[in-house]
Structure 1
Amino acid sequence: MKIIYKITYPNGKIYIGKDLTNSINYFGSANSRLIEKDFTDEERDDFTIRRQIIWKSEIASDKEVNEKEVEFIIKYNSNNPEIGYNQWPKFKNTNP
């Protein structure tokens, strides 16, 4: 089973990722240094993140999963630094 998931951090920011093996213990490859800037030492002591499977397929090719991942990153706007932690595709701010 191949999945696309959404991780939500305690500050409300999100990360969209894919897992080609549907491992229950995989929480993505978001940039830790980027995330840690948003939390104090106290906040880092005890927090909960949520992982939701937002799409899954038993028959999709890896290429199709990659395309779906980008589709969901754009849909959820998780590459906007104010909303999420995805750094690709690069966010293009359309507001002047």
Structure 2
Amino acid sequence: MKVIYRTIYPNGKIYVCKYLTGTPNYFGRADSKLIECDFTPEEIRDFTVRKQILWESETATDKEVNMKEVELIKALQSNNPNIGYNQWPKFKISVICV
């Protein structure tokens, strides 16, 4: 089973990631330094994250999974540093002139 999931950290920030092997123990590769900056040493001592499956497929190709992952990162804005820990694709701030 190929899966795309969201990891939710205690501060509410998210990380969207995929796994292609169906391993439930995989939590992604979010940058540990970014996460550590958001928590005190005391908060890290008792740290709970939640993993939530957003999408899964038994038939999708790896390319289709990759495209869906990017789609969900953008839709959930987990690449926005105020919302999440994804660093790719690079978050682009929209500026609206009035």
- TM-score, normalised to structure 1, is 0.97
Where does structure 1 differ by over 6 angstroms across 4 or more consecutive aligned residues? none
SS at match of 2:29: coil
SS at match of 1:60: coil
Query: For 1:61 and 1:6, how far apart are their aligned partners in 2?
Result: 20
Consecutive unaligned residues of structure 1, counting only runs of 5 or more, are none
Paired residues in the alignment total 96
Could you tell me which amino acid in structure 2 is paired with residue 38 of structure 1? D
- Deviation track 1:26-83 (CA, whole Å, cap 9, x = no partner) reads 0001000111100000000001100000000000000000000000000100000000
Residue in 1 that maps onto 2:11 = 11
Query: For 1:16 and 1:29, how far apart are their aligned partners in 2?
Result: 10
Could you tell me which amino acid in structure 1 is paired with residue 41 of structure 2? D
- The CA deviation at 1:24 is 1.1
